[in-house]
Chains A and B, each alone.
Chain A
Amino acid sequence: MTLDTLISIILQGLTLGMLYFLTASGLSLIFGLMDVLNFAHGSIFMIGAYVAWVTTEALAGSLPNSDARFALALLAGTLAGAGLGALIEWAGIRPLYKRPIFQVLLTLGLVFVINETVKLLWKADIHSLARPASLAGVLMILDRPFPTYRLFLIGLGLVVLAAMSVLLRRTRLGMIIRAGVENGEMVQALGIDVRRVFTLVFALGSALAALGGAAAAPFIGLVPTMGMDYQLSAFAVVVIGGMGSFAGSAVGAVLVWLGRAFADYQLSPLVARATVVGLMALVLLVKPTGLFGVKKGGH
């Protein structure tokens, strides 16, 4: 394997890794704080992509600048995800806090409802979202062409990582979230309404997934089941990185996707897919709490 091949594989792994990071970090945040595992997370990812696509189609006539259109599409997708997340938490999850098992069962039902709604609205056909003009080209890296859009995805992932780190480390809300992950009851005892933070975090996590979906849309085709593969890998990422740890999600995502990219290159696509679950199984054997798992207290 030559150096340029190596770099090309690493960059490919990083691109997908960033998408998985966006999906996994929301999942991990929600679970870490609220102990709710959202099985509809992949569906929210998919909704982000569809809303971005619909926005682009709707603006096609009135807004000729494809970059502005794309930026608006990303924003619309993200906001739709946040709104949907808040709605799910408020209407579905909140009434069931006394019955945690049923929260999980509920989110599984949401997968059905959301996917079928999309099928009814936009058919099950594959739609595609065009890349904006400024991101449609290729960049030469060590004499190898590399799509600019992939670099944009890597950049987007890094920006979100930085923004989330600032939010979690430097703001009051972030402090409450981090405290809530470690010991929710104690935070409540200090007079903070954790429930309101729950809705906010659910919306935030869903927004991250929807942003991932919207950003992935020009990269993969739009089908109602497009979120499933991402969700499953996000599960593996979360198990590997550790529930509730933001850094864990980032490291897990990059590990999983580098592993997959190398397996894809060296072996076969089938083995590449198996690596994800294989890595997860390995981490479960060695360190069930994940590489960066947060130790829960006060339960």
Chain B
Amino acid sequence: MSIHRNALRAPWLPWLVALALVAAGPLYLNKFLQGLAIQVFALAIFGISYDLLMGYSGIVSFGHAMFFGTGAYLLGILLKFAHLSLWQLVPVVILAAVFLATLVGFLSLRVKGSYFTMVTLAFAEMLFILSSATELRPWTGGDEGLHDFPVPAWLSPTAQRTTFYYVALALLVLVYVLARRLVNSPTGRVLQAIRENEDRAQAIGYNTFAYKLAVTILAGVLAALAGALNALFFRNATPEVLGVGRTIDALLVTIIGGAGTLLGPVLGAAVVRLLGNYLADWFGSRWPFVFGVIYILLVMFFPYGLIGTWRLYAPRLRERWRKARAGGRAASAP
């Protein structure tokens, strides 16, 4: 009996059940819902990459879309013009993201706080402008972007959706485990120390610039992979993937789920994509406005997100529940 109880109390059990439910998705989800789930997976990877910066290292970038968009465009351009296979493509996307993140990180991490935020936005908008520039139309498709690039037959988002579903899920799990390993490692601890007080971390002797650059590069690579996955699913890359709206997406899933928790962005992605879809239909053209208002209210009144708020209140609730039970027992005893 007591063993059974302990098993039920194992903290990982609910997550295992949830993972099994998601993994069994194609059994009970129709094609449309599977598609929605794939979008959630891509958004969750993007969110985790953002959370590594904002939630764990205290680095607030408003230019994170530049990596997402670079992944998307690079995938499109390479599929369309270079006819690379997926196995050649992934390393190229990763290398390009490392290069871009190193360049942008090296320049922008020289300044701190909101100053950094501003500089990253400027770099991202630069890429946004480049992507829609008429001079680059032959490669990027200008304002209209790239459409209908050839995707490998075995991973066709339409014909082989279930395969796509599992590939996307596998990537998400891989990214999650990688991020989990990172934040629990000594390097992760240093990042969190930088978040709490960079001057102090520096005083202890850590080269905080190098740590920040490293996490920027990792987050950039993960975001580029998320962008490539998203582009592969929609078979397009438009300037919008490099826009501020995409950065807000990442920000939003991180805040809603809970910054500084890794499950937060995953949960946040599900809420944003599923609820967002539903609400967008409901509100029609007024949706962006309502979205903005909800976002502001969340920032002002719900700063810890779903997971963060739960962790904040769960111990108190448990305590109250324990007291109520103890109190009840005491009262019933004569």
Contacts and interface: CB of A to CB of B under 8 A. Distances in A.
B171 interface: no
B296 interface: yes
Given A109-B299, A117-B289, A285-B107, A273 B115 contact: no
B298 to A, nearest CB: 9
B300 interface: yes
Interface in A111-160: 111-113, 116-117, 119-120
A63 interface: no
Interface in A243-299: 243, 268, 270, 273-274, 276-277, 280-281, 284-285, 288
B62 interface: yes
Nearest to B136: A270
Contacts of B115: 37, 239, 243
Interface in B125-160: 125-126, 129-130, 133, 135-136
Interface in A30-75: 31, 35-37, 39
A113 to B, nearest CB: 4
Interface stretch (A11-19, A93-101, A181-189, A200-208): A93-101
A108 B111 contact: no
A95 B119 contact: no
A235 B122 contact: yes
A106 interface: yes
Contact of B111 (A96, A232, A284): A284
B192 to A, nearest CB: 15
B103 to A, nearest CB: 9
B179 interface: no
Interface of B: 54, 58, 60, 62, 107-108, 110-111, 113-115, 117-119, 121-123, 125-126, 129-130, 133, 135-136, 244, 248, 251, 255, 285-286, 288-289, 291-293, 295-296, 299-300, 303
Given A36-B114, A270-B135, 16 more contacts: A37-B118, A96-B299, A100-B113, A102-B299, A108-B248, A109-B299, A112-B248, A112-B295, A113-B293, A116-B292, A120-B289, A232-B121, A239-B122, A270-B129, A274-B130, A280-B119
Interface of A: 31, 35-37, 39, 92, 95-96, 99-102, 104-106, 108-113, 116-117, 119-120, 228, 232, 235-236, 238-239, 243, 268, 270, 273-274, 276-277, 280-281, 284-285, 288
10 contacts: A102-B303, A106-B300, A111-B292, A113-B292, A113-B296, A239-B115, A239-B119, A276-B122, A277-B126, A288-B110
